[in-house]
Structure 1
Amino acid sequence: MTLTAPTRRTLLTAGALLAVPHPLLAATPSSRRLTFQVFRNGERIGEHRLSFSGDSASPTVSTEVDMTVRLGSVPVYRYRHTAREVWVDGRFESLETVTDATAGDRKVSARRTPSGVLIRTGRKEVLAPVGTSPLTHWNPNVLTGRLFNPQEGTLARITASPKGFRPITLADGRQVEGQVWALRGEAEIDNWYDRAGVWTGLKGRLEDGSRIEYRRV
């Protein structure tokens, strides 16, 4: 069969589209920083901060989380978490996390290998499937793929689905519209992302039944 010129152009265009990998990275904020005030049952308990360095295709993302739950003036639970997440050419490359909490301390490392993502904790190693990404919330483009818990070093047993645009309250009291992604399974979390894909807020339910909310500064 002889192809006409329009048919050739159509096939070439389709081939070019197939050659482009699905983008794994969301947009990073123009300020190169994200800061959230964290609330539990309406009471502020700390902050979650992210900073982005490097270019947009190969960023390094540093995370610091600092939370304290009090009963009156007495601290009853402390949580400190740091992470360094590296992406190269749009693909997850490595992660190092340290968690210091009342419930126990943990260290997790993960790196991409030709065979999959090798995840190490102080007790074991897990080889996750190729393409597995950390559930660090800022990147909605990975939510429908395989995910692992960056604090526990375990594969996440969740499903993620988009729920349309809804309002979310910022730290200064303003409301903005954001695309909601609902995470369900071992977690009950709704994440908000603005129209550029930048993480804008979070609401969820913790294991003890309390409600958690992130308000972007």
Structure 2
Amino acid sequence: MIDRRLLLAGGLAALPGLTLAATPPSRRLAFHVLRNGARIGEHLMSFAGDPASPTVTTDVRMAVKLGPVPVFRYRHHAVERWTGGRFASLETTTDSNGKAERVSARRTDTGVVIETAKGRITGPAGARPFTHWNPEVFTGPLFNPQEGKLLKVTTRKVGATQWSVRGEAEIDDWYDEVGVWTALKGKLKDGSTLEYRRA
């Protein structure tokens, strides 16, 4: 379990590179996104480059409708780079129901510099984006790739294939025996249930 004080203090800054999750044989992951059991969108990821130094591109599209009328739309695009098993950089753009957000993060010798429209912060050198595909990130500090803020959460491994995240986020992620991401279940701010199922 990761203590919140450890998260904020960045006590894992000196850790060496991670052993990254296995790259899917197809070099892509595709999920159907469901809210309270109803399909609302898709989450697509593609992997390029060496498995130890991948570039991971993510595209998420969601729309919640009231009858035939869309009441919420969400679009998210991210390009995430790792080098030698270590997080290197992340660039994201998000449109959350008309609210535009942009995040730029990069690892430096002194920490992970995260820039948003609200300004710049420097997180611990061991901070990693909470992008779900790599279960090894749960052993260190996490930051939100959409908002660019450090997450105040605790993480716990449940059995051999599940990680549980609690605090500012309430999410469970599942992986197969070689570490490929297979499913997600979480609770949204309005109390509804979000699920990812492999397409």
Residue in structure 1 matching 2:59, options 50, 57, 64? 64
4+ aligned runs moved over 6 Å, structure 1: none
Counterpart position of 2:32? 37
Residue in structure 2 matching 1:99, options 91, 94, 100? 94
1:120-140 CA distance string (max 9 Å, x none): 001110100111110000010
SS in 2 for 1:143: helix
Counterpart position of 2:119? 124
Residue segments in structure 2 that go unaligned for 5+ positions in a row: 1-14
How far has the Cα of 1:103 moved from its partner?
A: 5.6
Counterpart position of 1:150? 145
Q: In the alignment, is residue 202 of structure 1 matched against residue 184 of structure 2?
A: yes
Residue in structure 2 matching 1:139, options 121, 134, 154? 134
Residue segments in structure 1 that go unaligned for 5+ positions in a row: 1-19, 166-178
Counterpart position of 1:110? 105
Contact 1:61 1:84 in 2 (8 A): yes
Residue in structure 2 matching 1:28, options 23, 27, 42? 23
1:175-213 CA distance string (max 9 Å, x none): xxxx11111001111100000000000011101000010
1:43-92 CA distance string (max 9 Å, x none): 00000000000011100000000000000110000000000000011110
Counterpart position of 2:12? none
TM-score by length of 2: 0.90
How far has the Cα of 1:144 moved from its partner?
A: 2.1
Contact 1:60 1:86 in 2 (8 A): yes
Larger Cα-atom Rg: 1
SS in 1 for 2:139: coil
Q: In the alignment, is residue 80 of structure 1 matched against residue 80 of structure 2?
A: no
TM-score by length of 1: 0.83
Matched residue type, 2:55: T
CA distance in 2, matches of 1:24, 1:160: 18
- Greater RCO (Cα-Cα under 8 Å, separation 6 or more): 2
